[in-house]
Structure 1
Amino acid sequence: MNSSGPPSLTDVPDGYAEWLAELKSRVQGARQRAATAANRELVALYWQIGRDILAQQASQGWGAKVIERLAHDLRTAFPEMKGFSRANLLYMRAFAEAWPDEEIVQQAVGHLPWGHNLVLLSKLKTTPLRLAYAQRAIAQGWSRNALNVHIETRLLEREGKAVTNFSERLPAPRSDLALQALKDPYVFDFLGIGQEAGEREIEAALVEHISRFLLELGAGFAYVGRQVPIEVGGDDFFIDLLFYHLKLHCYVVIELKAGAFKPEHAGQLGFYLTAVDAQLKSKQDAATIGLLLCKTKNRVVAEYALRDSHKPIGIAEYQLVESLPKELQTSLPTIEQIEQELARYQDKAKDA
């Protein structure tokens, strides 16, 4: 009697498992490439429709009512396809207006899902910022919700803003890469602690939510430990937070100060960097970098404090957000909600 189940493992020839794993990998890769290609085709189609709407309205003087008629006719012709609502057609027109260069659509935003592009259009007002966030979303594989949160917290606008002495203490182009790895301010909107929290309380909360902390720090940071002990001359010292940066190939010492920055803080951090370089750093590692996070800082005082420091140090503020704004507490608005918002905006613009 024939069995309906799979053959016995004893019937599997040598090398079959490896071959099967390779085939599975090929199938998964092909499915992913097909989905990516389909998305590019859809975004390109939407851009072409939006461009044609703009051209027809400009040359023929068609009003807003033609879009409503077009939405009806396209839905009738393609009932199985979603996306031909009046609101989405208005978004296609806005998309083509925002990206008049087809090459940018093909090489950049065309690689993002349509929902990501709706977020870029609705949340950002300038082309350079839209393109910068689009490129980062592609490079780091951000979900639509992650893209929305990063825009809300102005992630890219904060990068490279910390006060540092990297240009004097690190060789180029490493100094530029290190500067871009830091931001100012750092926003801790996930800790659930009050504004008056102390340094140890903040440390504990950051470690408890280490995945969110790493997300705020940015790509490349790997967590090593908290209150890492260092013995120097028989005395014990403890580093608040120790990380390793995978792209810069160096340790990063982070010190937290619950109050305002003081010049002596830079001296203490420099001491820790010397200790880490002497005791933890290997020959393959680059010089250790320090990041001092304080509640407030006087930028001029910080710049003066770093002039005579021989160690590469950055100084930035942190913000404790006790609760997220309502728009971030809820999930990202649906495409339909964003479309409706845009449609109202477009109608007001037409009436003006």
Structure 2
Amino acid sequence: MSQEINKAEKQYLSLVVRAIGSDLEHTQVRMIASANADMLFHYWKVGHFILYLQKKEGWGSKVIDNLSKAIRSKYPDKKGYSTRNLIYMCQFAKAYPMEILLEMGKVEKQLNSPSVDNVLQLTNELNQFTQEPLAQIQATDNQGNIITQEPLAQLGEISETVSVIYQHDINLIEDIFKQSAVVRTNWASHVILLNSKLPLGERYWYITQAVANGWSSNVLQMQIETNLFARQITATKVSNFSVRLPKPQSDLANYLMKDPYIFDMMGQTDKMAERDIERQLVSHITKYLLEMGSGFAFVAQQKHFEVGDSDFYADLILYNIQLHAYVVIELKTTPFKPEYMGQLNFYINVVDETLRDEHDNKTIGLLLCNGGDKVVAQYALSGYDQPISVSDYQLSKAIPDNLKSALPTVEEVEEELSKCIQ
């Protein structure tokens, strides 16, 4: 009997320890997020304070340099107050005044079900907010190169100054700031966004994507440099999703697709065979899934199907967690040809029959071609009942070493896949 009690106690203690450990992990995440929000709010207030003194006292860029030296002299253990960073704080304050933080909050409530049309409308609304050029910091220096002790002492009055600027209690201002999307990404990512010179709507979209996909600042930079917004949102995509998939799945499928896709190849040549490209994509699957976007997991390459007395091999099969659907990909090194549709349609039918179960939505096909006429592709789609999208792809140089650590591991990809097929 005592052994049974001991066993029960051990099981109970194990459950308690697991529960405490889980709560501790969540608490640590919240503490990190809270610390990030506090730091960003501080930087935002400092930026407003400097802008206020520029306008009121005639401060210029040289004074900012001397302010940086004075702060670092008085607080040598505090990091982040270089001249460059103080200028970024000013840009940060300019980029996100209170009225824009409030507007971003309204937009966020309307983005529960993302679609291309919805994102375009909302980003355009944000783009209409006119702002001063973010890089424009006053170049005049009416007070010369000497910073007195009085302005340095005023650093303790930052919150009061911000309250005067916005005519609200600082606690209310802090609540509005910390409820906005800007606190969900880190300072390094904000610096990249400020340097990008993107309009407000696009900057907001990249912030939401960085949060949703867990991008590091390096990955964010890469996505901006490859113009992800244009490839995913403003591109004219070729698909039959609107007539072959029910809403809202059709909207989500169209939103997730890109044109063109940009794949990083190791040791690429101008004329790589389809099989070589497939091998590269699979051997560097984490980079490939990063380009595919949110929720994709790898299933198989050259998946063998025996149909009748014949053998067939599908190029690539993925699974998308958000769509709850298999995605069959056919890769062609040549421009689009209408006959490519028939082969992809065949593989979709086979996957529907052999892999798809009752919990999965309709299998989707993605035909990746090296160029081609989109008008011809759209006409070719009209004869097929299965949901299919046609996109171009481009091959670029290998991803820099400093980005590799930011990508998901193969183990993480496999874990995602196991969740979807359980």
Verify same fold: TM over 0.5.
yes
What corresponds to 1:248 in structure 2?
Answer: 323
Q: Which amino acid aligns with 1:52?
A: F
Distance 2:356 2:20 in 1: 42
When structure 1 is superposed on structure 2, of 288-297 and 74-83 the one drifting more is 74-83
Aligned to 1:156: 229
Structure 1 unaligned residues grouped into runs of 5+: 1-9, 333-352
1:329: how far off? Answer: 3.5
Cα distance in structure 2, aligned partners of 1:181 and 1:294? 18
Whole-Å separation in 2 of the counterparts to 1:231 and 1:208: 25
Q: How many residues align?
A: 319
* Matched residue, 1:281: 356
1:86 has 2:161 as partner: no
What does residue 304 of structure 1 align with? 379
Q: 2:43 aligns with which of 43, 46, 60?
A: 46
The aligned runs of 1:311-322 (5 Å cut-off) are 311-321=386-396
Q: Does 1:166 align with 2:166?
A: no
| Pick aligned residue for 1:68 from 65, 69, 74 | 65
Whether the 8 Å contact between 2:40 and 2:183 is mirrored in structure 1 is yes
Partner of 2:19: 22
Aligned residue identity for 2:92:
F
Please tell me the residue identity of whatever aligns with 1:19: V
1:138 aligns with one of 211, 220, 226: 211
How far does the alpha carbon of each residue in 1:53-108 deviate from its partner, in whole angstroms, 9 at most, with x for none? 22222233322222123223322332221111221111111111111235455311
Question: Which position in structure 1 is the counterpart of 2:344?
Answer: 269
Q: 1:289 offset after TM fit, Å? A: 0.7
Q: d(CA) in 1 for partners of 2:267 and 2:292?
A: 18
Q: Is residue 195–residue 320 contact of structure 1 (8 Å, CA) maintained in 2? A: no
| Matching residue within 255, 261, 270 for 1:186 | 261
Q: Judge conservation of contact 1:263–1:301 (CA < 8 Å) in 2.
A: yes
TM superposition score normalised by structure 2: 0.71
Instruction: Kindly provide the amino acid, as one letter, of the partner of residue 71 in structure 2.
Output: L
Task: Look up the match of 1:33.
Answer: 30
Instruction: Name the CA distance, whole Å, in 2 between partners of 1:75 and 1:279.
Output: 66
Summarize the alignment of residues 95-134 of structure 1 with structure 2, pairs less than 5 Å apart: 95-101=92-98, 102-103=101-102, 105-106=177-178, 107-134=180-207
Distance, in Å, in 1 between the alignment partners of 2:24 and 2:351 is 47
- Counterpart amino acid of 1:110? V
Q: Distance in 2 between matches of 1:271 and 1:211?
A: 28
Please give the TM-score of this superposition, normalised by the length of structure 1: 0.84
Q: Secondary structure at the match of 2:333?
A: strand
Structure 1 pair 191/330, CA: closer, same or farther in 2 (3 Å)? closer
Corresponding residue SS for 2:80: coil
CA 1:183–1:277 in 2, change beyond 3 Å: closer, same or farther? same
Instruction: Identify if the C-alpha distance between structure 1 residues 274 and 32 changes in structure 2 by more than 3 Å, giving closer, same or farther.
Output: closer
Give the whole-Å Cα distance in 2 for the aligned partners of 1:63 and 1:244.
Answer: 55
- The aligned runs of 1:215-234 (5 Å cut-off) are 215-234=290-309
Q: Deviations over 1:109-136 (max 9, x none)?
A: 1222211111111124311111111111
Percentage of identical aligned residues:
42
- 1: distance between equivalents of 2:61 and 2:39? 24
What is the SS of the residue equivalent to 1:260?
Answer: coil
* Secondary structure of the structure 2 residue equivalent to 1:21: helix
- Does the residue aligned with 2:334 lie in a helix, a strand or coil? strand
Q: How many Å apart are 1:330 and its aligned residue? A: 6.4
Query: Please, which moves more after superposition, 26-35 or 261-270?
Result: 26-35
Which residue of structure 1 lines up, in the alignment, with residue 400 of structure 2?
329
Q: Which residue of 1 aligns with 2:112?
A: none
1:3-38 CA distances to partner (integer Å, 9 max, x unpaired)?
xxxxxxx9x962333323332333333232222111
* Alignment correspondent of 2:143: none
CA distance in 2, matches of 1:280, 1:23: 39
Match of 1:207 among 274, 277, 282: 282
Structure 1 letter corresponding to 2:60:
G
The secondary structure found in structure 1 opposite 2:71 is helix
Single out whichever of 186-195 and 172-181 deviates more from structure 2. 186-195
Q: Does the 8 A contact of 2:189 with 2:220 survive in 1?
A: yes
- Select between 311-320 and 104-113 the one with higher mean Cα deviation: 104-113
Structure 2 contact 367–390 (Cα < 8 Å) conserved: yes
**Partner amino acid for 1:201?**
D
SS in structure 1 at match of 2:89: helix
